[in-house]
Structure 1
Amino acid sequence: MVTRIPMSVAGHQKLRDELGRLERKDRIDVMKAIEVARGHGDLSENAEYHAAKERQGLIEGRILELKDKLSRAEVIDCTKVGSERVVFGTVVRLLDLDTDEEITYQLLGPEESDVKNGSISVLSPLGKSLIGKEVGDEVLAQTPGGKREFEVMNISSSETS
């Protein structure tokens, strides 16, 4: 059974752009670097050649990884999700019941989550505890700083896909 990866339209496009760059530019650049390094003679002691081959391996590995993720992507338009309950793509405003601090996160897929920029993975402990919740619900979640209790203050759909 194929495990689907939830992904926003923007996140899907970002991965497609990276794949395109790797296939059309980086792969070609590293092949040229390998050819130049081969021209420098003995390959057994040619650091430039070995570095280029290592970079080629990293590029090819990332290409395979991106193709796999894109083939399993379940693309979700975050502007079209409801705002009655917390689901993938919604923006949720939380009140930390321990500190009275309000925080806002958008729930996205693991490839897109970036806490510093206001998004968390639906697969993270906090993300999992929020799924299906409504305004007024309280959740207890394990965070990097320990167990925290939050109240859902607001749920909205995203302005970007």
Structure 2
Amino acid sequence: MKDVILTPEGHQALTEELEHLTTTRRREVAERIRVAREFGEIAENAEYDDAKNEQAMLEHKIAQLEDRLANARVIDVKHVDTSVVSVGSVVRLRDVAAKKTFEYHIVGSAEANPAEQKLSNESPVGKAIMGRKKGETVEVVTPRGGKLKFKIMEIKAA
């Protein structure tokens, strides 16, 4: 598996989620299975089957989180190079055509969330601006085949 790049906040969030799933959620699902067993014949017990499926999905999610954390490379924001765009940078971009400015925190794909202005380094825009400098203009091909131009207005550490 490839390295999972995380900010300190992203690492903390995954650690807390794993803790919640391995303690609280495991207990809840185990209790659901115990209660479902009391309904009688397991072979014809939809409640039991549903609880066992939930348990399997939970264990899969736990394994994924453990794997991500085991392969995590946490970015030290004190060492983020602000001369170029990199993971951990906060970048102000200007959409040349729309004449609008956006600010994004560049993060690894594991913690990307466009609604929170957290842009993955593997997204089309993220790939286009990685390693670029302030003042450069980049062209991004959108998933639908259109093209957007962004000018990098500012790069700072998160």
How does the TM-score come out when normalised to structure 2? 0.94
CA distance in structure 2 between the partners assigned to 1:50 and 1:120 by the alignment:
39
Determine the structure 2 residue equivalent to 1:140: 139
For structure 1, the residue ranges without an aligned partner over 5 or more in a row are: none
Secondary structure, aligned partner of 2:131: coil
Letter in 2 for 1:96: D
Within a 5 Å distance, the mapping from 1:98-117 to structure 2 comes to: 98-117=97-116
Aligned length: 157
Change in Cα spacing, 1:102 to 1:133, as seen in structure 2 (3 Å) is same
Structure 2: gaps of 5 or more residues: none
**2:17 is equivalent to residue 18 of structure 1:** yes
Letter of the aligned partner of 1:36 in structure 2? V
Counterpart CA distance in 2 for 1:34 and 1:79 is 47
How far 1:3 moved relative to its partner? 1.5
The aligned residue for residue 152 of structure 2 is 152
In structure 1, give the amino acid aligned to 2:125: L
Q: 1: CA distance between counterparts of 2:30 and 2:141?
A: 46
Identity %, equivalent residues: 36
Q: After TM superposition, which residue ranges in structure 1, 4 or more long, deviate above 6 angstroms?
A: none
2:74 maps to what in 1?
Answer: 75
Give the superposed CA RMSD.
Answer: 1.3
Tell me the distance in 1 between the aligned counterparts of 2:12 and 2:98: 37
Counterpart secondary structure, 2:109: coil
TM-aligned CA deviation for residue 143 of structure 1:
2.9
Distance in 2 between the 1:93 and 1:87 partners? 13
Deviation at 1:152, TM superposition (A): 0.3
